[in-house]
C-alpha cells in the first residue's frame, strides 16, 4: 500500500520508515529538499519525495492517502492548500497535535468535497521507530478498515506487550496499538487526555524525586544560619540522607508499582546527567496539557492532579512572579515582615 506523507521531520520520517520496512511504499512532501534526498537514499525504490505539493499529489495512487505530520499551527494552511488538489474518495489524515475542535470543523468542511478525513493522535516520541506508534483515531470505520495494512505497520503490534489477563480470542485492533476511538475529533481528544495524564504522571515522579533530593535538608538546616522569618525545622534528624537518585530510579524499574516507560526514560536521563546540570528547569508545555484542563472544566470534572502538573510548568518559567511579589507585599503590610534575602 502507498502512503503520502506531508512533513518529513522525525515523526513523519519514522512513520515512513516503519511502513517501508513492511513492504509498503511512500511519497513525501517537504518544503526543504534536504530530508527528501536523505530518505530517498535510505529507502531506494520505496520512497520518493518532492518539494512541490501538486507534484506530490500527482505521485500518489488513487485513492490518495495523505498523512499530514507537521506542527499544529501549520496544519490548517497546508490542508487548505491540499484540498482542491484532491478528489472524492481520497483520504486526509491529520497525525499532528491539532486541537480536536479543528478536526470537527475540518471534517464538516470537507464533507461536501467527498474527501475523507481522519484525525490520528500519534504517541511514541523519539522511540516510535523502534517501539511503534500508539494511534488514537477519530473518523469512520470504513476508512480505518481500508488503512489497516498501513496502521498495523505503524503501530507497535500485538506482540509488543503481554496480553492483558482476561482477554481472549483474536487480538483486537487496539491490542495491536491502534484504535478507532469514535467520530471525527475523537482521536485527538483521546490523545489530548493521554498527554494530560502524561503531565500528571511526570509531575508525580518529579515531585517525589524532589523530596528525595532534599532528604538532606536536616543537615543543611543544622549547619546553616536561620532568619527569624523562616520556619524552624522541628526534626532535622529525620532529614540526614544523601540519596542516590539515579540508583533509586533504577531499582524502582524492577518489581515496583511505579515501573513505567517514563521511569525507564528518567533512569536513562539520569545516567546521562546524574545531577541534571544540563537543565535550567524552565519546562515547556504544549497545547494538549492546557486543552485537557479546559475540557475537564467544560464537562465539570475535577482534575487537581493534572492542573497541578500544568501549573508547575508555568511556575518553572517564572509566571508566578507577580503573585509571589504580591504575597510578600501582603505579608509586609499586615505583619511588618521583610522578605528573605535572595540566596
The half-sphere exposure of 289 on its side-chain side, counting CA atoms within 13 A, is 21
Min. distance of Cβ 158 from a second copy in angstroms?
Answer: 8
* Closer Cβ to a second copy, 88 or 108, answer by number: 108
SS3 state at 119? strand
Distance, in Å, from the CA atom of 30 to the CA atom of 114, rounded to the nearest integer, reads 25
> Which DSSP letter does residue 98 get?
-
Hey, which residues does 29 pair with through a beta bridge? 6, 50
Q: Note whether 207 and 185 are within 8 A (CB).
A: no
Question: Could you tell me the three cell numbers for 35?
Answer: 530530508
Q: How far is CA 100 from CA 192, 193, 194, 216, 284, in A?
A: 8, 11, 13, 46, 21
Nearer to a second copy among residue 63 and residue 157 (C-beta): 157
- Closest CB 82 distance from a second copy, rounded Å: 21
Q: Measured from the CB atom, is 109 or 262 closer to a second copy? A: 262
d(CA 32, CA 16): 17
The residues near 49 (Cβ < 8 Å, ≥ 6 apart) are 8, 27, 28, 29, 30, 35, 36, 37, 39, 40
Q: DSSP letter at 310?
A: H
Q: Residues 30, 102, 173, 191: which is the catalytic one?
A: 191
| Minimal distance, residue 44 CB to a second copy, in Å | 27
Q: Which residues contact 152 (CB under 8 A, 6 or more apart)?
A: 176, 178
CB of 3 to a second copy, least distance (A): 18
Of 198, 207, 229, 325, which residue is the catalytic one?
A: 198
Cell numbers representing residue 70 in the block: 507537521
Ranges of H-type helices in 273-320: 287-299, 304-316
Tell me the DSSP string of 156-182. Answer: --GGGSPPPTT--SSPPHHHHTEEEEE
Assess whether 198 carries a catalytic annotation: yes
Of the two residues 65 and 179, which places its CB atom closer to a second copy in the complex? 179
Cell of 106: 475540518
Minimum CB distance to a second copy smaller for 146 or for 205:
205
DSSP state of 339: P
Please name the residues in contact with 240: beta carbons below 8 A apart, sequence gap of 6 or more: 215, 216, 218, 219
Residue with smaller CB distance to a second copy, 53 or 197: 197
Q: Which is nearer to a second copy, 47 or 178 (CB)?
A: 178
Residues marked active site are found at 191, 198
Amino acid at each position: 500500500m502507498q502512503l503520502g506523507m506531508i512533513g518529513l521531520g522525525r515523526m513523519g520520517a519514522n512513520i515512513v520508515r516503519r511502513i517501508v520496512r513492511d513492504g509498503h511504499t511512500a511519497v513525501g512532501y517537504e518544503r526543504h529538499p534536504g530530508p527528501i534526498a536523505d530518505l530517498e537514499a535510505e529507502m531506494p525504490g520505496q520512497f520518493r519525495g518532492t518539494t512541490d505539493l501538486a507534484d506530490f499529489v500527482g505521485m500518489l495512487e488513487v485513492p490518495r492517502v495523505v498523512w499530514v505530520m507537521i506542527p499544529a499551527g501549520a496544519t490548517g494552511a497546508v490542508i487548505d492548500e491540499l484540498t482542491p488538489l484532491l478528489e472524492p474518495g481520497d483520504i486526509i489524515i491529520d497525525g499532528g497535535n491539532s486541537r480536536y475542535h479543528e478536526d470537527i470543523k475540518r471534517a464538516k468542511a470537507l464533507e461536501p468535497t467527498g474527501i475523507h478525513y481522519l484525525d490520528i493522535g500519534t504517541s511514541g516520541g523519539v522511540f516510535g521507530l523502534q517501539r511503534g506508534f500508539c494511534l488514537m483515531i477519530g473518523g469512520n470505520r470504513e476508512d480505518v478498515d481500508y488503512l489497516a495494512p498501513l496502521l498495523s505497520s505503524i503501530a507497535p503490534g500485538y506482540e509488543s506487550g503481554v496480553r492483558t489477563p482476561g482477554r481472549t480470542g483474536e487480538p483486537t485492533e487496539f491490542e495491536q496499538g491502534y484504535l478507532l476511538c469514535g467520530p471525527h475529533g475523537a482521536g485527538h481528544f483521546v490523545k489530548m487526555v493521554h498527554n494530560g495524564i502524561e503531565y500528571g504522571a511526570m509531575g508525580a515522579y518529579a515531585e517525589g524525586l524532589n523530596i528525595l533530593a532534599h532528604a538532606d535538608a536536616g543537615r543543611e538546616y543544622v549547619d546553616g544560619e536561620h532568619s527569624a522569618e523562616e520556619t524552624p525545622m522541628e526534626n532535622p534528624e529525620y532529614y540526614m540522607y544523601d540519596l542516590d537518585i539515579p540508583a533509586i530510579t533504577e531499582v524502582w524499574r524492577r518489581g515496583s508499582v511505579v515501573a513505567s516507560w517514563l521511569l525507564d526514560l528518567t533512569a536513562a536521563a539520569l545516567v546521562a546527567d546524574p545531577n541534571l546540570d544540563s537543565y535550567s528547569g524552565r519546562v515547556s508545555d504544549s497545547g494538549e496539557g492546557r486543552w485537557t484542563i479546559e475540557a475537564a472544566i467544560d464537562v465539570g470534572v475535577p482534575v487537581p492532579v493534572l492542573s497541578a502538573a500544568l501549573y508547575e510548568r508555568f511556575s518553572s518559567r517564572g509566571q508566578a512572579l507577580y503573585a509571589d511579589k504580591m504575597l510578600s507585599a501582603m505579608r509586609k503590610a499586615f505583619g511588618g515582615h521583610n522578605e528573605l534575602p535572595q540566596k
